[in-house]
Amino acid sequence: MTIAPRIPDPKKLIKGATGDWEVVIGMEVHAQVTSRSKLFSGASAAYGGAPNSHVSLVDAAMPGMLPVINEECIAQAVRTGLGLKAAINEVSVFDRKNYFYPDLPQGYQISQYKQPIVGEGVVTVDLPDGISIEVGIERLHLEQDAGKSIHDQHPTMSFVDLNRSGVALMEIVSKPDLRSSEEAKAYLSKLRTILRYLGTCDGNMEEGSLRADINVSVRRPGEPLGTRCEIKNVNSIRFAGQAIEYEARRQIGILEDGGVIDQETRLYDPGKGETRSMRSKEEAHDYRYFPDPDLLPLVLDPAWIEGLKAHLPELPDEKKARFIADYGVTPYDAMVLTLERASADYFEQVAKGRDGKAAANFMINELFGRLNKDGRSIEDSPVSADQLGAIVDLIRDGTISGKIAKDLFEIVYTEGGDPRDLVESRGLKQVTDTGAIEKAVDDVIAANPDKVAQAKAKPTLAGWFVGQVMKATGGKANPQAVNDIVKAKLGIE
């Protein structure tokens, strides 16, 4: 598959002192495979743990230890490849990438160099302006994570913990198809969504389950690619955006001053909002890749791949399309609802047999807002889909007004309970008894003769009367009925 080169979008160009610049971005995302044990050993792949407690003799590279591959990690990589609409390579090879580092016990990382498990694919990325772009995937390969060195425990020593050593990672390499920090953020976010849908990576960026190496270069629109710099190990979507913005402007500054960009590895410092050159290595890397002689080539059975494909969950793009078609929600709402699989599932439970649009509105405006405020995820929402559905029903059948619905939601959120019972016990029912409303309207008219006179000249003042009546009835009066009666009594159309 090839993706046509994108035409420079004037809106996305960066204005320099001497004209416009286009930023070109590609990403290598390291996603930790969701698995119980490590890629080549039976030690736990769980995050954290006491120092060196998730470490087998294989992970510690004891003499004579041998790697044995974890079947589930292979399956997870294939599922991810399928989710990225990518080619699955039936034969792939594990290579050794040789270099010395204290958190690399073997003196080499087992990775896939020339023959990765997954080839080219594509990710559709939705941008906030409602436009979607396609980002090419170059490849995906499996590799081992390294251990961790802690530098702040001792004045002259670093402490090495190998708990991460050997945990399975998927390195997902994009093509240089991204043209702004916004696009890069949207890509990362979409990739994270896809991985979480697939259940192949938990996407937890704080724990380092998802981190990105970002290649950034700039050029004049229409010109060949410029020299790139690689920003290593960015572990938040927000930082990714900031790092790209800074880096692009840094490069433009150098080029506009007549300088040249050195191809180098840089680190983003979120505190300073800057990228800085990593202490340049004394010598160029020479990783001496060669096929790992401890591991035979990885051969996948096409029927096995088909089996995984058959059990793949519905992915966000398909779900989004279905929500638009089946529930009549707007594309934007559909996108928001499908960001997380759990939200989408929740929505479907609420929307089933109800007005999808109403369900979507209430979820996005009330539920998401409230959860956000508390920093909670949909999984631990105190309001269940059934409870939310009941509230939507109560609005729909006129039992409560939209305003009361918000109050009711808050009660359910904080105290729990069946919304239908609460409406009864708390007296939240909308007053539709016209006699009672008429009485309330009469009272307001009687108390405000001056306003009555004004309203006859200026009909919009009717709204003031409606408000007063609503207030008097504790918001429970049916607003439409109030409106009609007010207008009739004031004699305005």
Partner 1 sequence: MSVDTATVTRVARLARIKVTAEEAERMTHELNSILGFVEQLDEVDVTGVEPMTSVVNSVMRRRADEVTDGGDAARVTANAPMSDDNFFLVPKVVE
Partner 2 sequence: MTDLTDLTLAEARDGLKARDFTAVDLTKAYVAAVEAARDLNAYIVETPEKALAMAAASDERIARGEARPLEGIPLGIKDLFATEGVHTQACSHVLDRFLPPYESTVTANLWADGAVMLGKLNMDEFAMGSSNETSYYGPVTNPWRKRGSNARLVPGGSSGGSAAAVAARICLGATATDTGGSIRQPAAFTGTVGIKPTYGRCSRWGIVAFASSLDQAGPIARDVRDTAILLKSMASVDPKDTTSVDLPVPDYEAAVGRSVKGLKIGIPREYRLDGMPAEIDALWQKGIDILRDAGAEIVEISLPHTKYALPAYYIVAPAEASSNLARYDGVRYGLREKGEDIVDLYETTRAAGFGAEVKRRILIGTYVLSAGYYDAYYLRAQKVRTLIKKDFETVYADGVDAILTPATPSSAFGIGEKAGADPVEMYLNDVFTVTVNMAGLPGIAVPAGLSADGLPLGLQLIGRPFDEETLFTLGAAIEQAAGTVSAERWW
Least distance (Å) between residue 149 CB and partner 1: 5
Select from 142, 168, 266 the least CA-distant residue to 215: 266
What's the CA angle centered on 219, arms 249 and 215, to 5 degrees? 70
81 near partner 2 (CB under 8 A): no
Residue 263 contact, options partner 1, partner 2, none, Cβ 5-8 Å cut-off depending on partner type: none
125-184: contacts with partner 2 (CB under 8 A): 158, 160
Residue 66 contact, options partner 1, partner 2, none, Cβ 5-8 Å cut-off depending on partner type: partner 2
Give the separation between CA 139 and CA 149, rounded to whole angstroms: 29
Give the separation between CA 416 and CA 409, rounded to whole angstroms: 9
Location of structure tokens 């909670």: 376
Joined tokens for residue 309: 């494909």
33-62: contacts with partner 1 (CB under 8 A): 35-37, 41-44, 50-60
Stretch of 72-80, 92-100, 133-141, 310-318 lying at the interface with partner 2 (CB under 8 A): 92-100
Of the candidate residues 3, 87, 295, 321, the single one contacting partner 2 (CB under 8 A): 295
Which amino acid, residue 286? D
296 near partner 1 (CB under 8 A): yes
Query: Where are the alpha helices (H) located in 375-460, listed in sequence order?
Result: 385-396, 402-415, 419-425, 434-447, 449-457
Residue 151 contact, options partner 2, partner 1, none, Cβ 5-8 Å cut-off depending on partner type: partner 1
- In this complex, which beta carbon is closest to partner 1, that of residue 54 or of residue 370? 54
Which amino acid, residue 324? I
- In this complex, which beta carbon is closest to partner 1, that of residue 107 or of residue 474? 107
65 near partner 2 (CB under 8 A): yes
Residue 305 contact, options partner 2, partner 1, none, Cβ 5-8 Å cut-off depending on partner type: none
- Look at strands 265-269 and 229-234 and give their pairing: parallel
List, in sequence order, every residue forming a beta bridge with 285; answer none if it has no partner: none
Spacing of C-alpha 108 from chain mean position: 33
Select from 176, 183, 174 the least CA-distant residue to 127: 183
What's the CA angle centered on 201, arms 167 and 372, to 5 degrees? 130
Question: Site for partner 1 (CB under 8 A): how many residues?
Answer: 55
Give the separation between CA 466 and CA 482, rounded to whole angstroms: 6
102 near partner 2 (CB under 8 A): yes
What 3-state class would DSSP assign to 378? helix
- Look at strands 121-126 and 132-144 and give their pairing: antiparallel
Residue 377 contact, options partner 2, partner 1, none, Cβ 5-8 Å cut-off depending on partner type: none
List, in sequence order, every residue forming a beta bridge with 123; answer none if it has no partner: 135
355-374: contacts with partner 2 (CB under 8 A): none
Of the candidate residues 57, 150, 453, 488, the single one contacting partner 2 (CB under 8 A): 57
Residues that bind partner 1 (CB under 8 A): 35-37, 41-44, 50-60, 68-74, 93, 100-102, 149-151, 153-162, 267, 278-279, 283, 286, 288, 291, 293, 295-299
Residues that bind partner 2 (CB under 8 A): 57, 60-69, 96, 98, 100, 102, 105-108, 158, 160, 286, 288-290, 293-296
